[in-house]
Structures are given as structure tokens and as C-alpha cells.
Structure 1
Amino acid sequence: MAARRPHPPAQAAQPPRSPDQALASQLERFNARLGTYLKPEEIARVGAAFVFGDAAHRGQFRVSGAPYISHPLSVAETLVGWHLDAHAVIAALLHDVMEDTAITKTQIADQFGKTAAELVDGVSKLDRLENQTLEEAQAENFSKMLLAMARDVRVILIKLADRLHNMQTLDAVRPEKRRRIARETLEIYAPIANRLGLNFLFRELQELSFKHINPMRYRVLEKAVKAARGNRRGVVDKIREAVETHLPTWGIKAEIMGREKHLFGIYRKMREKHLTFSQVLDIYGLRIVVKDVPTCYLALGALHALYNPVPGKFKDYIAIPKANGYQSLHTTLIGPYGMPVEIQIRTQEMHNVAESGVASHWLYKDDPAISELQRKTHMWLQSLLELQSTADSSSEFLEHVKVDLFIGEVYVFTPKGKIIALPKGSTPVDFAYAVHTDIGNRCVACRINLEPMSLRTELRNGDRVEIITAPHASPNPAWLTYVRSARARSRIRHFLKTQQTEAATHLGERLLARALDEIGQALSKMDKATWDKFLKTEGTRSRKEIYTDIGIGKRLAAVVARRLLAKETSAPEAGKAGSITIRGTEGMAVQIAGCCNPIPGDPIVGLIHKGQGLVVHTHDCPNLAKLRGDRVDWINVEWEADIDRLFEVSIQALVQNRRGVLAKLAAAIAEAQSNIIDVRVADKQDTTTTVSFTLEVSNRVHLARVLRNLRTVPEVMRIARLKDRKA
């Protein structure tokens, strides 16, 4: 451990002893900017932090050859541009000392206070564990950083500034590492900047990532934009002059700025819409800043009177702000020569938020728009803690966060008129979980704009969504194939894991009781001393864990029974086995085989699959021959006498090819009180057609009634139940 360095005298930071003129110039600029908003005593503490960091990093150099201290100084400069407080600037200057030197968190706390030390610790990476992959280590570090960010948003602002400077100096890094860092930036850090409303930083990180991931495409596109700039700039200048002349006639005073689309934005549009560069017309646009919200709408009317708007291209982000607090009116106008130009109209306060996002809190503290952004950011950060609490690993947490980082682009309404923002492609299930976890867990159906719709329907802007719930409903694993939001995905997974554990524990207890009964011992009579000895031998903490392992197939009940009684682990004698009763409602620990779809009344057998629990097949399932293995994997099972639920079954009918035959078949099935889950028409000939149905029935008697009804349809030539399906 390095010896504690004495606190330097209270003075502004001085250049290091190295005669590096670039660093001296950078430091001079940094000190000048500090004086614009920090107090003298705060500037002195920042100066002390620079001296401390310079001493800690002395002798270290970046890959480019520059003194290492130039990097933390650049990071601190970015924070000074956002007017962040002295604690954050100090942490930026020291953000690498815990990773790259012998300095400890305690030393930083002693010298510069607990707040600065906590910020440095939040940004610092964890030590990589032995046998841990690079991906696992990255997920662990990212999880740590996000949780620190949830406590203090300054952690992520320091990290984003750190990533910006690393991306700006990435040319010195070897190509493979360059591409990996750039891809990570594009997938994680740029979306975080966007989510926090740091628009300038977001665009800059995207551009730099694109440059390093696709250097050739970047250069070609850059050249094409420069070539097109002269031709198109003239048209945009004409539009700008017309707008500058026209707005005052409506009594509107405005600041008008030209803006150019970023290369990554052009590239993404070309890829997503399969366009050539010449077909991307909206490379240039205008931004209009006015005094207040009413003037924004007045300016919109004035512009629509000047040039024709493009239908469907108007977006009102003032009435409905983006999740990151962004507000503006967007419209696209058809200017001279038929060239479209995108116009953004906003107030100065909206412009501040659009450019600086959550960092505006330190720039414009008295702005009410900033307070609202702070509230939204706090809610998002709290949602990260919620996601972390339901994730099984850092990798799963990172996966949820990646989903959550893509800003909601669909705005829908609750029945009471509240606006809910969701990711593009979201479904009513996402909506249900956005309202409340219990609503999502109990969701069974929905109405969209008062019409009954499927739960997998993709929601559109302006939809009014109503969720229908049932007291005993629970999440369906199939929901995971179409939900889009991180909250919905994490909550569904959490519920299913909990349900599977509980169901597996109950099943395992029943299986062990049956196994003990086979060798003449009752589970209820096993004393605590026997259990304690067994648990110690197995290295397991509780009986519940043993039951769960049996239920999901990790342990065999017969083996556990014999070890409990200190007997040999041979299989039970044939003919002595009892049966496990199946209700079909046990949960995920008991699964109905999809290959044969057994229903009550069918003779059945059970197979313990490791990690899946008990899978129930019909005794004549065609796939059993492939599955047969060790005898102890098989369990005798039978249906419970009174089962109150529906089971899926498949049937196939050969029918005459006549008009209306499908309607007749559906009517016959409905008359027998059965639901149609799926219908497929195949093998259509001139005179006959094969129709396959997946139905819901309660048992074999119910199925027989359905088949009898179908046989009364004159066009039915042959009908049979299907059992030979691929699982």
C-alpha cells in the first residue's frame, strides 16, 4: 500500500514537472473554466486533487504516449462543461487511481471526503476473478456501476465522460480491442447517454463508435456528405432565409439554427430503409428556438402556411415528452425543388434539456423542466434496482438493462387517460406490467380501443388499453417470446422461477414419500437426526433444497431414500412401486408432453428429466422408445379422479372439398363445448382436404363427444386423434 500523501496547500492546480506543453495548455484552460462557477475554496480542493492524481499516475503513460494524467484531466474538463460540483470534478481527476495505482478508497476519503471516495469507487472496476470470462467480468462491473449510479447519478456522468475521451483517443489502440470497445459503447453507453437526455454526448458516442466499427463505410459516407454539402446547402439556406423573413410577419421572434444529420443517423437510415445515399434527402434541417410554449405552436402554424408539411411526419414531444425529458415539435416540410427539411421547434429551456439532459441540473438549477427531468431520471434509476433484485446474475441484469435502454417510442393511454410510454413493439402484456406487477401477473385478456384483442397485439401510438385480470391467473412462459420491456421480461421470469421452485418442491416431497414407502418407511417418521446427518453428508442446507432437486430431476428419489436410510442405491423391485397422482395444475415441475398430449383417461407414465421435472406421456407415445433409459428415471403416474381444467389435444380429419366445410366442423366442435386453439389445412386435393385441429377438452369422454359430433358432418370421411407429434 502506498504511503499517504500530505494534503497540498490551498491553491489552484499547477502544471506537473514534465515539460509537456500540451498538458500545460490543457491545465491552464481547465483552471480558467473552473473559475467561472466554483468558489475559491472549491477550486483549491480541485487543484489538490490534480496534484494528488498526478503524483499517483507519475511514470504512467497512455498507449498514445501522452502522460496518463491527461486522461483524467480531460474527463474532468467535460464535467466542468456541465458545471458539476467540486466532488464530481475531484472524483473525475481521481477516477483511475484505485484501479491503476496503490491508492485506496480510505486514502481518498481522508484527503477529499467520503462523497468523492464513493464516486471514485462507483466508477472503479472490480478485480477479475479466476476462471471468469471477459463477458462475465464486464457484466459484473457494469452491474456494480449501475447500482452506484442508482445511488448517485454523478457516477454515470463521470463514466460517460471517461468513455467519451477513451473513444476520442481510440486510434492508438489495436484494431480488435478498438472494435470491441466501440461496439460496447454503441450498445450500452450511447443508449445510457440518450436515456439521460445527454443528446450531444449520445450523438458523439454514436459517431465515434461507427467510425471504429465500420471505418471504411464511415470514410465513404463522410466523403459523400462533403460532396453533397455544397449542392444541398444552397437549398437549405434559401429555406432558412424564407423562414427568417416569414416568422416576424406572424409576430414571432426566434433564433434559427441550421443542423446537419450525423453520419451514423444517415447510415442507419440507409440500412433500415434500404436506401442509397442519394435517396436520403433530409440530411439538413433547421432548429427554431422561441420564447415560450404558445409561440412554439404559433411558429408551427406559420411554417405550415409557408411550406407544405409531409403527412404523418408531425410529432408533438411537447405535449407528450420522451422518457428522457426531451421536448420539441417536429415537422417535415417540402421546400423548394421538392427537398424535405426537418424542423425542430422548442423553447430555450427545452433546448437546454435536449442538449444537456440530466446534467442540466447543475447548469440550470431553477428551471422547472429540469426538476421534472430529475424526477423521471430518479424513477428510472429506481427501476434499475428493481430489475437487479429479480435477476439471477449480473449477465441477466445486463440483458434486462440493454432492453430498457431503448427509449419508449409508443405512447398509449390507460382507461382513465394516463399516458404510458413503452418501447416500440410493446404489447398489452408490457402495458399491464408497466401499470403494476400484479396487473401483469393476473392478466388474461385485453381490450384495445374498446375492442377485444390478442395479448400479443403490437400497440400503436394513441391506443387506449384496458387489461382484464382473473384472481387465479398467472404469467404464461410464451409471453417471453413477444414482450419488449425489461420490466415485463424480468417480472415474468421471476414469477416463473418462483412458481417452478415451489411446484418442484411439492412434487419432490411426494416423490420421496413414495420412494420411502416402497422400502417400507414413512417420510413423516424420518427423525431430525437422520435428516441432519444426511444434509451434512450431501453439503445441503435444508430439506426443501433436497425436495426441489428431486422435483426438477437433479436427484433421484429412490437414491435419496436409500441414502437417508444408509442403504444401497439399487432400483426398487418391480411391482412394489406406488403411483403419483397427476392433476395437471402442479405448475412447471410437472409438464404434459407435447409429443402425445395426454389427457385424463389416457394411461400415462412419467419420466424425470434432469432440470425439467416430471414429464407425463401416454403409455403408447411413439417417442417413448427413444426416451427409455435407466429404469429409476421412470415414475408410475395416474390421473387424479376429479380434474377441473382443460387439456390440449390434436385431431385430424379427412373431408370432402366443399364450400363451407370448415365452418361446419367449427360449429360441431363448439356444439360439443370445446375450444379451437389452432387449425391447419394441408394436403389439399381436387376432391379432399386434410384439416388438423388443436382443441381444448377436459378428458377422453369429452374428446369422444367432440369426435361423435364431427362424424355427423356429412363431408367428414375419416377422423382420428393425433399422437405422433414432435415435442
Structure 2
Amino acid sequence: MSTPPAVASSETKPSNRFIDAVLEQSFRHLFGPTATPEQPRRHEVVSIANLSAALGEYLSPAEVKDVKAAFQFSDEAHLGQYRQSGEPYITHPVAVAELCASWRLDAQAIMAALLHDVMEDQGVSKTELAERFGPKVAELVDGLSKLDKMEFRSRAEAQAENFRKMMLAMARDVRVIIVKLADRLHNMRTLGAVSTEKRRRVARETLDIYAPIAHRLGLNNIYRELQDLSFQNFHPVRYATLNKAVKAARGNRREVVSKILESVQRAFAEVGIAAEITGREKTIFSIYQKMREKQLSFSQVLDIYGFRVVVDETLHCYTSLGVLHGLYKPVPGKFKDYIAIGKVNGYQSLHTTLVGPFGTPIEFQIRTRHMHEIAESGVAAHWMYKDGSTDLNDVQALAHQWVKSLLDIQSEARDSTEFLENVKIDLFPDAVYVFTPTSEIMALPRGATALDFAYTVHSDLGNQCVAVKINNELLPLRTELKSGDIVEVITAPYSKPNPAWLSFVRTGKARSAIRHYLKTMRFNESLQFGERLVDQSLKGYGLTLAEVTPDVWEKLEQWTGNKTRQEIFADIGLGRRYAAVMAKRIEVLMSGREDEEDPARPVEGGPGGAPVVITGAEGMSVQLAPCCRPIPGDDVMGYIGIGLGMVIHKTDCRVARRIHRRDPSRWIDVAWAPQPGRLFDVGIKVIVRRTKGVFARVAADVTAAANIVQVAMDEDGSDNTTALRFVIQVADRVHLANVIRRARGNPDVLRIVREKPGEAGQAARERAMRMAGESSDGAEGGGAEFGD
């Protein structure tokens, strides 16, 4: 898992080491050289009296009875199980249920909170839970349970798969993630009993995944507490020192805060606006983030206090803004209107920063009571305040929209690790707000590009995108968007995703959609090419693919482990299987001699036959080697690389000869089609006299006959000559000969040759060796070496 920005190693910047040193020294001064956590107490008797009282305020007696039955079942299941703090394990589910009750979740969610560990820890089946408490409760508990019965190659893979399971369960029912966040919050509150290593690992995971999810769903109270608890457990020394400093500053600035509060209340009373004005203190983690990002000491962080103004109506929010700006001077550029354009999680408020007494900057947040409920409870407000407010329904719609995007990513992700990576990209809280040509507002992560916008609207729109207009100006697809931009996407039916797009797209949906398209396209191309290879190999036995019977295909699927014949062809096209081996096996099965052959033994070789015909337009299943740049008319041969399809080399290529000596069984005969389906890159080297304007004249001659893709110039070892290197596009060797003939007509050209194999440069040779699975240092066999 990637390290979250806030808990990254402090050894990366001198300023971070400075902060660490100051905080460490302050900690020792304030608390002494060592600090030990308070030893937990053992509690054998567990009561749900507090939980029952809280539930009785909003649930019916029958629902409270069902919750008590779930508690009794969970208590019996966890009997004899203890937490590392020494407390009975049942105290944890009860605490999670109490948190859920504080958000007024329904009875099913409370029951799931009490039962959330019985499947994972005690082996209770989903069927048993469904029979006792209903299918909905069983589904919630199943979504909260880890995949402990499955085997994974690594901890990271297991974590990613568990995360995917939880998020997909959330897509079916958002209560899953709310109960999970309550579970994580209580675990973070009681993390002191576990080892230091586990505390740091859980804190990093929380800050990297669970806190952003809470923010994305608008659960800001949980978000802030998870951040502070993660910081406290990951950097206990820094947290303790800053906490002590904040407490000291709180006493020093009490008079200033009281003076501001009194003056603001008096100003609102004068204009007759009923407002609830409260002071608030920024969290320890947010102060620490500011110190890191702006390279400040604690004494330089002035705005550790803020004020919240809660009024009755939206109109009063803007009136209140005028009152505050009349009382204190606003700081230019520090006003944000999140009411007109709310955040992606439904948050709405006016933010303004004012210069208070003694020059202290003070931030004010102005919102209505409904906005305040949403800001604090987010999607949980759906259960807490069922009063018919359209704002709350909007929050639910935003949450649903995000959950739907998770399903889109899931359907296109290759595995759970990629899914986790793409979801984490979408969890960044900062956003830009752009407009469609029809004035619809769309929110994208900060740094998102115009191509991200196209994929956010629809995957097909992104796949067919060829250009974009931003504010009526044609700009590149990689252009980063700014708030307020009007974006128009231009498409073409022939367009398709480019692998290079992955280097600049920002959103998880765009990344997963591009990868899914490329994967599908590669599969289809490999399928067609593999089919051609098998058909070509079968001709040596006097057979064709059309003659292969369904029962033979069924036996081949059992023999290979593939589910369909299409997968068999794709594996062959990608070089994972030999076409000659498959043809031999087909011939054995067709002749009824399968009992004479060992199905597990690979069949090497195979009869010769006509070479495989290629056009060069097969796509990713056939690649032209960069070390020798073959073109139609060259004598060529094909190398079947594992997972790479076929790589075409010239027969006199030095790299090809080296690979052939190592693994001759992977080479097959190939031939060019009479009418190749594309132009091909080829390198030429032109030695010219060093005269004024010679480069322009030679380039003009070459351009008249072919398209120039790349050009370079270097010295040729003498005082009066220069070597010009061109990469041009030609149809075949005849076309190349015409280009060379035309360039030779220039009197300044002394010599012109096609670059020989190996002259294309070290980078091309290394790339060719990587395609064959070799290192470029001359060692035979083995794959590429990986450094730190």
C-alpha cells in the first residue's frame, strides 16, 4: 500500500528532520525520556444498558428486542475470547453498535454491528445468520467479514481483495461502510494495547483508505477523529508535543477568542439575524499538515482557531457574510462559496478568512442548520434526520453516484490490487468544478485532465475522444482543468484509447477504462493471430481448423485448463503456448491415438509447413523488433515471446541471433503479405558536407519521398562532414530504395545507407532484449534484474 502523504517518512526533506528534532526535544522536556501507555483494565461483565437506552429513543420495542437477541447470540459466540487489552471481546461489537446508534442507524445495521465478527472469528455461517436474523442482516455481516479462508500470494493482495469485497458490498448497501467505519473508529481508539509495528501499520491504512472514505461520504466527524488517531499512533512523539503546545496556546489566546465571539454576536444582534456562533479549534493533524506543507513552526501557525455561524436560511448565509466583512477586513483570495457549488460529498458552507484583533487571521464557516447536519454526519444524516429535506436526498444521490463509479472501476479492473489503486486515486478530497457545454457542473479530482472529464461523462466518450475544447479553445487531451472551465469533447468513431494516455489520466475510472479496453483489444488481436498460427501448423498434417470436431475442442480445453477455445487461441497468440504443440495434439486426438500419448507431456517441434503470413497491421499480437526495424521485402523470422505475442526480426539481426542461440524452439518462419497494411519505420544515415543549409536541403529531399518521424545530427569524425540520422516511414524496400535514390541526387550527400542491425542505439537493443526476457549485459537466460 502506498504511504499516505501525511505519514510518509520524515527523512525525505531537511525541513521534516528539523520538525522531528524540535518535536522530539520538546517531548523529552515536557514528558521525560520515556512514556508508557496506561495499562488497560479487565471488565468481565458487559452490559448493553446504554445501547438499549439509546435505541429506545428511536426504535420500536420489537426492533430493540431483535437487537438484544443479536447481542445474546454474539455474546455466546465470543464467549472466552478476549481482546489484547484483556477485555472480553464482546465489548468491541457493543462499542461499535453504540457508535452506530449515535448516528441512529436502523435495527438491521445495529444487529450487523453486534454480529460483524462472528463469521470471521467464530465460523458462524451466513446461512445460520440468515435463518436467525434475516437475509439483510446476513448480507451486511458477510460484507464486513474478511476473506480468511482464501489463500493469497501476499499480505497486500489479501488486503486489496478484502477491500474490494467490502466496497462491492457497500455498493449494494451503504450501511456496510458506515458500520465498518464505526468498527475502525473503535479499533483506533483502543489501539494502545497492540504492538508498535501493528499500530503503525493500522494507522497508515486508516489514514490512507478509511479516513478518505469517511470524508468522501461526508462523515466529517469520523474523518477528523480518524486522522487525529492515525497521527497519534503513527507519530506519538509529534502528536504529544503538538497537543501540549495547542493546550498552552489555548490559554494564551482565550482572551482574543472571547473578544471576537462577543463582537460577532453583538454585530448579528444589531442586524436582527438569529445565529448560533461557536468557536472551534483545528485538529492536531490539520495543524501538523500545515506545518509540513508550508514549512512553518508551530508559533507561525496563527489560524488554529475558527468560528462557525449557523443560521436558519440560505439567504441569511450571504447576509451574514456581509456582516462579518463589515466587522473585520477579509483576506483577499480566502473566500470560497461551497453553497452555490457544493463539494463532491455534499458539503455546503461559505468560507471566509478575516483579519481579527492583533492581526490574527480567523476563519469563519457560515451554513444553515440542514447544511450543518450534512457537514457533520454526511450520508448518515439520512437516518438521523428524516424530515423530508431535499438536501439530504442530494447527499444520498452523491453517495450513490460515487458507489456506482466503484462498480464501473470493478468491472474493468484486472485484479483487486488494481481496483484498490484506482479507488485510492478517487479518494483525494480536493476537487475542481468544471462545466459541460450545457452548463452542468461536474466535480473532478484536482489535477484531472480533459481526458478524465471525457471518461467521467461516459467510458465510450473517453474511448472515442480525439480532441477537446476548453473555454472554446482547442487544447491537448492532457491539459489540466481548472475550476470554472467549460469543456467540450470532440469524438470520432475510428478513435481508440492509446496506451500513452495512462501516463497522464488522473481518475480511477479513466485509468481502469483505458486498461480494460487495451486488455480486451489485445485479447481479440491475440485470439485472431493464435488462430492463424494453429491453422498454419495444422496444414503440415493435412488438416484445417474447420475439420476439428467439438469433442476434440472439449478434450483440448480439459488438457490445457482453458475454459474456451478462444482462450486457447489467445494464449497461443501471446506466446504462452506453442502452435506446433497444439497442432500435434489436435492431430493425435483426431486420429484416435490419444491413449498412446501422455497428455501431460509437451510435444516439441512439429512438421514444417508454409511460413506464417504477416501484414504488420495485426496490432499488439505482432510487434516489429526495435533493434533492426524490419520492413516488407526483408528476410524475417518470428520469435514467440511469453505473454508478448510474436516479435518480428530481420534474419541478420545480431539480437535475434543471440536469442535464437538461447531458445531456438520459440522461432517460426514468417513471410510478408503481398500487400502490407501500413507504413513501417526504418532508419537511414546520411553523411553530408558541412555547408550552409545542407540539413534543410537534405530533409526536403527525404520529405518529398517519405514522411520523417525522427531526426538527429552528430559528428562523423572529420572536420568537414556531418552525419544526419533519419527515421522515416516507408511501405517496403522498394519505397526505401526510391528515398535513398532521391537523396543521393543532392551534391552535398557523400554517402547514404540504411542503418544496420545494432546501429539503432543501446536503448532499442535493451528494449528488444526485454521483449525476449533477457538482460542487456550479455548474460544468457534469466529475466531482467530489478534494483531497489
TM-score per shorter chain, which class?
0.7 to 0.9
Equivalent of residue 668 in structure 2, options 613, 635, 638: 635
Equivalent residue for 1:201? 222
What is the distance in 2 between the residues matched to 1:349 and 1:711?
80
Mapped contact 1:236–1:285 kept (Cα < 8 A):
no
What is the distance in 2 between the residues matched to 1:168 and 1:298?
41
Matched, 1:217 2:238: yes
Aligned partner letter, 1:122: G
Distance 1:453 1:284, change over 3 A: same
After TM superposition, give the deviation of residue 588 of structure 1 in Å: 1.8
Aligned partner letter, 2:473: E
More deviation, 119-128/615-624 = 615-624
Gaps of 5+ in 2: 1-40, 589-596, 768-788
Matched, 1:136 2:157: yes
Percent identity over the alignment is 54
What is the distance in 1 between the residues matched to 2:426 and 2:682?
38
Q: Secondary structure at the match of 1:327?
A: coil
What is the distance in 2 between the residues matched to 1:342 and 1:369?
25
What is the distance in 2 between the residues matched to 1:486 and 1:203?
25
What is the distance in 2 between the residues matched to 1:631 and 1:189?
52
Calculate the TM-score normalised by the size of structure 1: 0.87
Equivalent residue for 1:561? 583
Distance 1:168 1:658, change over 3 A: farther
What is the distance in 1 between the residues matched to 2:128 and 2:70?
12
Matched, 1:494 2:516: yes
What is the distance in 1 between the residues matched to 2:63 and 2:657?
78
Matched, 1:585 2:617: yes
CA RMSD between the two structures: 3.5
Equivalent residue for 1:15? none
After TM superposition, give the deviation of residue 528 of structure 1 in Å: 4.5
Aligned partner letter, 1:364: Y
Equivalent of residue 478 in structure 1, options 491, 500, 504: 500
Distance 1:709 1:373, change over 3 A: farther
After TM superposition, give the deviation of residue 111 of structure 1 in Å: 3.7
After TM superposition, give the deviation of residue 165 of structure 1 in Å: 0.4
Equivalent residue for 2:707? 674
Aligned partner letter, 1:578: A
What is the distance in 1 between the residues matched to 2:249 and 2:748?
68
After TM superposition, give the deviation of residue 143 of structure 1 in Å: 2.1
Equivalent of residue 488 in structure 2, options 460, 466, 472: 466
What is the distance in 2 between the residues matched to 1:208 and 1:285?
21
What is the distance in 2 between the residues matched to 1:161 and 1:222?
24
After TM superposition, give the deviation of residue 607 of structure 1 in Å: 1.5
Equivalent residue for 1:347? 368
Mapped contact 1:558–1:632 kept (Cα < 8 A):
no
Equivalent residue for 1:5? none
What is the distance in 2 between the residues matched to 1:665 and 1:326?
63
Equivalent of residue 539 in structure 2, options 514, 517, 528: 517
Matched, 1:127 2:160: no
Matched, 1:146 2:178: no
Distance 1:562 1:284, change over 3 A: same
What is the distance in 1 between the residues matched to 2:137 and 2:693?
77
Calculate the TM-score normalised by the size of structure 2: 0.80
Aligned partner letter, 1:218: Y
Aligned partner letter, 1:208: L
What is the distance in 2 between the residues matched to 1:657 and 1:422?
54
Mapped contact 1:601–1:639 kept (Cα < 8 A):
yes
Matched, 1:608 2:640: yes
Distance 1:432 1:341, change over 3 A: same
After TM superposition, give the deviation of residue 84 of structure 1 in Å: 1.2
After TM superposition, give the deviation of residue 197 of structure 1 in Å: 0.6
Equivalent residue for 1:420? 442
Equivalent residue for 1:292? 313
Q: Secondary structure at the match of 2:484?
A: coil
Equivalent residue for 1:269? 290
Gaps of 5+ in 1: 1-18
What is the distance in 1 between the residues matched to 2:575 and 2:425?
32
Matched, 1:60 2:93: no
Can you list the C-alpha shifts for 1:601-642, whole angstroms capped at 9, x where unaligned? 555432111001012234454532443233332233344343
Equivalent residue for 1:400? 422
Can you list the C-alpha shifts for 1:507-537, whole angstroms capped at 9, x where unaligned? 0111122222345444434444554444444
Mapped contact 1:333–1:340 kept (Cα < 8 A):
yes
What is the distance in 1 between the residues matched to 2:466 and 2:456?
16
Matched, 1:552 2:552: no
What is the distance in 1 between the residues matched to 2:356 and 2:704?
63
Mapped contact 1:23–1:70 kept (Cα < 8 A):
no
Aligned partner letter, 1:90: M
More deviation, 381-390/486-495 = 381-390
After TM superposition, give the deviation of residue 354 of structure 1 in Å: 0.7
More deviation, 564-573/66-75 = 564-573
Can you list the C-alpha shifts for 1:178-219, whole angstroms capped at 9, x where unaligned? 222222211221111111110010111111111112222222
Aligned partner letter, 1:299: S
More deviation, 328-337/167-176 = 328-337
More deviation, 622-631/584-593 = 622-631
Distance 1:254 1:529, change over 3 A: closer
Distance 1:693 1:211, change over 3 A: farther
Equivalent residue for 1:191? 212
What is the distance in 2 between the residues matched to 1:290 and 1:20?
46
Alignment of 1:79-478 (within 5 A): 79-101=100-122, 103-130=124-151, 133-365=154-386, 366-407=388-429, 409-478=431-500
Can you list the C-alpha shifts for 1:32-61, whole angstroms capped at 9, x where unaligned? 322322223333332333333333333322
What is the distance in 2 between the residues matched to 1:647 and 1:236?
73
More deviation, 149-158/665-674 = 665-674
More deviation, 530-539/473-482 = 530-539
After TM superposition, give the deviation of residue 241 of structure 1 in Å: 3.8
What is the distance in 1 between the residues matched to 2:165 and 2:636?
50
After TM superposition, give the deviation of residue 705 of structure 1 in Å: 7.2
Mapped contact 2:157–2:417 kept (Cα < 8 A):
yes
After TM superposition, give the deviation of residue 447 of structure 1 in Å: 2.3
What is the distance in 2 between the residues matched to 1:435 and 1:259?
39
Mapped contact 1:197–1:354 kept (Cα < 8 A):
yes
Can you list the C-alpha shifts for 1:267-287, whole angstroms capped at 9, x where unaligned? 223333444334433322222
After TM superposition, give the deviation of residue 438 of structure 1 in Å: 1.0
What is the distance in 1 between the residues matched to 2:708 and 2:437?
30
Matched, 1:77 2:109: no
What is the distance in 2 between the residues matched to 1:412 and 1:656?
56
Aligned partner letter, 2:165: K
Mapped contact 1:445–1:455 kept (Cα < 8 A):
yes
Mapped contact 1:128–1:137 kept (Cα < 8 A):
no
Aligned partner letter, 1:166: N
More deviation, 602-611/618-627 = 618-627
